Amino acid sequence: MPRHISLTQYLVEQQRQHGHIPAELRLLIEVVARACKRISISVNKGALGDVMGSADSENVQGEIQKKLDIIANEVLIEANEWGGHLAAMASEEMEGIYVVPNRFPQGEYLLLFDPLDGSSNIDVNVSIGTIFSVLKKPGGHEGVSERDFLQPGIQQEAAGYCIYGPQTTLVLTVGDGVAMFTLDREQGSWVLTQEGMRIPEDTKEFAINMSNMRHWAPPVKRYVDECLAGKTGERGKDFNMRWVASMVADVHRILTRGGIFMYPWDQREPEKAGKLRLMYEANPMSFIVEQAGGVATDGKRRIMELAPGKLHERVAVFLGSKNEVERVTGYHHEVA
């Protein structure tokens, strides 16, 4: 019979046997996972919980917030602020950082999250998710500021996402491979369902929003044209295309069966590097993808080595199966 391992057991093993994570980090991850359970309950209730539709507000990126965006953000803050493991949090839904109020003990970690990624899919009952990243507060000074968050992705201590789909699934890395946990709704617990997840190096499946094709840069056009040309073209094989429009769902598919995900830079907004946010979308997903043997670049450079200039910075994203990401990255270098 397979061993029934809970998230708590898995993390305790990581702490004791492998020495990968200190106790504080373990507890912090458990609190995030607990918050995701609560978000999952709200997402599942849908219209019955009066959580559908838009709120009357915009976030810092000028996007209309959905009620569930705000609920998920509040759940994550409430769950995490009192635990004593964090100094501050940052979120897609908040302009500035959220410093843990001084009525609670201060910890040494920083938590970043996109509370509900794939907002456009909330009302249509398609998979959405929570993405998170954990950094350590740089030492040597009291207090915490936005500048403390501006660390490259390679400094991440842990990263994960929770996908609210047909199953609620938590995918996690603490820098020792990628593990997947499925929420057992009857027990209310996370159960380890896959360890050592690996992304195949080759794939015949790509994910990109094709409606933006006319705005892409030449290397992206070239890569996708070659995929579309199929067996008789340059690549000599037929490609399939998938686009859920929830990064969590698209990345989850890639972790499960391989593929390449692209959200490239777009000529419509030359000053912006792409649509997705570096600190709480691209970095945590890149950490997970690399830990599963995949590659993640902004078209030219490794995403996790980019030095962030601001909290809500955007970045072009190419991630997934190694050989495909390296190919499209190579096309960018050829025109540089």
Q: Which residues bind Mg ion (CB under 5 A)?
A: 114, 117
> Residue 120, annotated ligand binder?
yes
Residue from 83, 115, 118, 299 that binds ligand AHM (CB under 6 A)? 118
Which CB atom, from 119 or from 291, has the smaller least distance to ligand AHM?
119
Q: Which tokens go with 287? A: 């950490």
Provide the residue count of the chain. Answer: 336
Q: How many residues bind ligand AHM (CB under 6 A)?
A: 13
118 is in an annotated binding site: yes
Do residues 284 and 114 make contact, with C-beta atoms less than 8 angstroms apart?
no
Is 116 marked as a binding-site residue?
yes
Determine the Cα–Cα distance for residues 157 and 141; give it in Å rounded to an integer.
20
Backbone φ and ψ of 221, nearest 5°: -55, -45
How many whole angstroms separate alpha carbon 168 and alpha carbon 130?
Answer: 11
Binding mask 224-243 for ligand AHM (x = CB under 6 A): --------------------
Q: In this chain, which of 130, 246, 286, 291 binds ligand AHM, going by CB under 6 A? A: 246
Closest approach, Cβ 263 to ligand AHM, in A, equals: 6
The per-residue b/e assignment along 82-102, b for 16 or more CB within 10 angstroms, e otherwise, is ebebbbbbbbbbbeebbebee
Q: Quick one: how far is CA 92 from the chain centroid? A: 12
The reply on whether position 117 binds ligand AHM by CB under 6 A is yes
Nearer to ligand AHM, 192 or 288 (CB): 288
Q: Could you say which residues in the range 269-308 bind ligand AHM, by CB under 6 A? A: 275
Between the two ends of the chain, the Cα-to-Cα distance in Å is 55
Q: Which residues bind ligand AHM (CB under 6 A)?
A: 63, 92, 114, 117-120, 209, 245-247, 263, 275
Residues at the annotated binding site for substrate?
A: 117-120, 209, 275
